[in-house]
Structure 1
Amino acid sequence: MNSSLPNDKDKAPQGAQTVAAAIPSSSDSDSSKGEAGPTSQYVVGAPPQQYVVPTWSTGLFECFDDIPTCLITAFLPSVTFGQIAEMVDRGQNSCIVYILIHGGILYFTGFACVLSAIYRIKMSHLYKLPDDPCINILLHLLCEPCALCQEYRELQTRGFNMQLGVGWQGQSPEIQQTSGFMVPPKVPGGMTR
């Protein structure tokens, strides 16, 4: 008897016996009855996991989806930046401190977009969003209001209450514990009858 399986089953690994038994040979099909046997091999094991690339919840130029934020950001970008920075830094400083820092840099140098780009990079690292530093800096250099609006909408989508005056301390305990990470709902353990 000449087969591809070893004669002594003890020499073969345990998994090999199972796999070999699961794959039908060509003699298993009954061609005399006109029935074709299975032509494909069985897949053994779990399918490979597909990696989903994280993206921003809204596009860069969807500013007009949230008109109040768009108007505040167009005329007072420091206010929107202050709200975003407070949430990204998890309440280390208040919104007012970030507004004053951003406003001071904007007033004296005109390059507050560099500071806001740094916070966009922090936010993209925190939430595993596309985080090419060069692109993030360019976005803030070329269109800081659009980038700030997108970051603001992202935090809203993640469950943050972004109304002015709420701040980190006014967020729900769930948001403070998870920092806005999407957590799957808890399922009761085990099946019961």
Structure 2
Amino acid sequence: MNSSSPNDNKAEKAPQPTNNDAQPATAAASSSDSDSSKGQPGPSNQPVVAVPPQQAAFPTWSTGLFECFDDIPTLLITFFAPCVTFGQIAEMVDRGQNSCGLYAMLHAGILYFTGCGCLLSAYYRIKMSQIYKLPNDPLINILVHLICEPCALCQEYRELQARGFNMQLGVGWRNQTPEIQQTGGVMVPPKVPGGMNR
């Protein structure tokens, strides 16, 4: 005696899909995958073009903060007489409104009477960052000058050199090339990683 109902017999007799029925769908999917990977035209009949991802250009200094040992003479002058390096930087940032000597005396006076000459030089770092679209976080710029003013001044000095300024002592704004006086310093091209390799 069979206790199964008629519905159970129908479920048992339902045709099962064979491997042959499932293969065309898989083959079609794999063929479409291989077509798209080969760069064949898609449904819109336009070729698929690979576009490299766009990299956002972040503003950066041309040299690092602690690369001062790359220019030993400037480091020595800045370490023993920061007012001289500051005067050169301030004259270029202000486009020759005042002489290097005046800025140097102002920095030396503030440094002598208050010990806070770094605040004046930090102001010019902020100003320079705004002009040349460099990283412009006022708090960071002030801290850099408070903690290590010689390194900050050397970095600013090297940045102006990288932008085409002749930073030798005694040259000043008035003896810069006409191109530098018109543009205020050429823009440094952004650092781009190496080219594509196969």
- Output the aligned Cα RMSD: 2.4
2:69 maps to: 64
Structure 2 counterpart of 1:108, one-letter code = F
1:114 maps to: 119
8 Å CA contact retained: 1:58, 1:150:
yes
User: Equivalent of 1:80, from 63, 85, 110?
Assistant: 85
Structure-1 separation of matches of 2:71 and 2:57: 27
TM-score of the two chains, using structure 2 as the length reference: 0.70
Hey, which bits of structure 1, 4+ residues long, moved more than 3 A?
34-44, 46-50
Taking a change above 3 Å as real, the CA distance of residues 48 and 37 of structure 1, as seen in their structure-2 partners, is closer
1:54 Cα shift?
A: 1.4
8 Å CA contact retained: 2:62, 2:188:
no
Structure-1 separation of matches of 2:36 and 2:70: 54
Residue 135 in 1 paired to residue 154 in 2?
no
Show CA shifts across 1:124-179 (max 9, x none).
Answer: 11000001000000000010000000000000011100000100001001111111
Structure 2: unaligned runs, 5 residues or longer: 1-27, 190-198
Residue 53 in 1 paired to residue 58 in 2?
yes
Structure 2 counterpart of 1:145, one-letter code = P
Structure-1 separation of matches of 2:130 and 2:96: 17
Structure 1: unaligned runs, 5 residues or longer: 1-30, 185-193
User: Equivalent of 2:163, from 158, 169, 176?
Assistant: 158
TM-score of the two chains, using structure 1 as the length reference: 0.72
Structure-1 separation of matches of 2:106 and 2:35: 74
Residue 105 in 1 paired to residue 110 in 2?
yes
